[in-house]
Structure 1
């Protein structure tokens, strides 16, 4: 400047940007920014009620003092008997939702929620009712389905029942049938209904006729036993254990065969197949170092109706005299005599 000095320099000051505004709320004056201490006034369209503070103040930190009020366009619905709802307010804004519930001992019949509409009313317009003559939705059980289906029958009349069915891989503990009792409560006659991880009924014997351990619950770790009746020879595993992936073994078969007996020490039984058909024989022999007991029976035949090899106790292998002699005199420091 002519005087040789600078003009006053600009300053940076805190301001507030647009104030917070809820749906349908108007704030005035409308500016691009607001100076510290400036006040805006809120209002609502005709027909709705302002809920909250009607003014807001710009603070020194550039923030507004409070959040926006709301414009309530729906009046609170009436309370009816044992029916209550939340939240309870003097007015409700567009799209606000209330949730209905009943006093203890009563069941809600109807839609549990309603929302404030642009028509200044809640929808659905018909409030639910509270009844002590119906039961609420059937209690859910993990791993189970039930009838009636709650999607089509949300309320069950007193005296009626619901039936649980455990899904595949689960077993039932407790009662599969529960009853809607007086007061609108479900009654469990055998305690809580639970579907535990387990197995379905063990598969039956399909080759021949036999039995398997009876039961309705087969939790993981449960073991069942098979037995044959006709034919009497069980081929396969007589036991099966329930695991997380199902039964450990397939069902055995009941066949018209004889099972190969377990040989005594050093005895060789031929053939080596686990089962021997009717009319076929097995033979008993010994290795070259032994002799078959001359009082034994060197051959047995599979016959009906027993289907069992009765092996004599004399079917043994005796050490030969020659081997016995060698073993006796082939000791350290001695010369074998042969």
Structure 2
């Protein structure tokens, strides 16, 4: 009986050493998934694989920038963790336009407000799509710059 155990023990010992060499406990961090702001992740690893695969998605109103899926092999992630960037709607400006005409803008996109002829910008003409999905500073207005004469005559 003792002879059988001595034959099995070296094999178990070798398997243990092999596991330690492939994934030392001090380096194995594939069980800790990097989280992201304004989004979530899901472990989509195959049961039969030695790699960890995490898939990311963003909350509504945000867009994923980077790789949707990242893989962990030998305690290293294949790509940087993606980010969820805010989407801002096109600012509505009466009597004016924006420098970059799109339906949506991705944080930290910057646009400049330009008023129609005869109108001037009240507020900051340069606005940035911010993380909370709003424009910063506040979207300016375009106001008519010609005032009637002081005596009321036209």
TM-score between the two structures when normalised by the length of structure 1 = 0.27
Partners of 2:99 and 2:112 within 8 A in 1 = yes
Matches of residues 89-128 of structure 1 in structure 2 within 5 Å? 92=106, 96-101=107-112, 110-111=123-124, 112-116=126-130, 118=132, 120-127=133-140
Match of 1:77 in 2: 90
Residue from 34, 39, 46 that aligns with 1:25: 39
* C-alpha deviation, 1:97, in angstroms: 3.7
CA–CA distance in structure 2, aligned partners of residues 89 and 59 of structure 1: 40
Match of 1:59 in 2: 73
* C-alpha deviation, 1:125, in angstroms: 4.2
Partners of 2:43 and 2:52 within 8 A in 1 = no
Match of 1:39 in 2: 53
Partners of 2:128 and 2:135 within 8 A in 1 = yes
Aligned length: 118
The structure number with the bigger radius of gyration is 1
The alignment partner of 1:58 has SS state of: strand
Partners of 1:50 and 1:69 within 8 A in 2 = no
The alignment partner of 1:75 has SS state of: strand
Question: Quick one: higher RCO (CA 8 Å, sep 6+), 1 or 2?
Answer: 2
Cα 1:40–1:115 shift into 2, 3 Å:
same
CA–CA distance in structure 2, aligned partners of residues 36 and 127 of structure 1: 55
Matches of residues 96-245 of structure 1 in structure 2 within 5 Å? 96-101=107-112, 110-111=123-124, 112-116=126-130, 118=132, 120-127=133-140
Cα 1:84–1:21 shift into 2, 3 Å:
farther
Q: Which runs of 5+ in 1 are unaligned?
A: 134-338
CA–CA distance in structure 2, aligned partners of residues 39 and 79 of structure 1: 42
* C-alpha deviation, 1:116, in angstroms: 2.7
CA–CA distance in structure 2, aligned partners of residues 69 and 21 of structure 1: 9
* C-alpha deviation, 1:28, in angstroms: 1.8
| Runs of 4+ deviating beyond 4 Å | 78-82, 88-91
TM-score between the two structures when normalised by the length of structure 2 = 0.50
Render the CA deviation track for 1:190-214: whole Å, top value 9, x for unaligned: xxxxxxxxxxxxxxxxxxxxxxxxx
The alignment partner of 1:66 has SS state of: coil
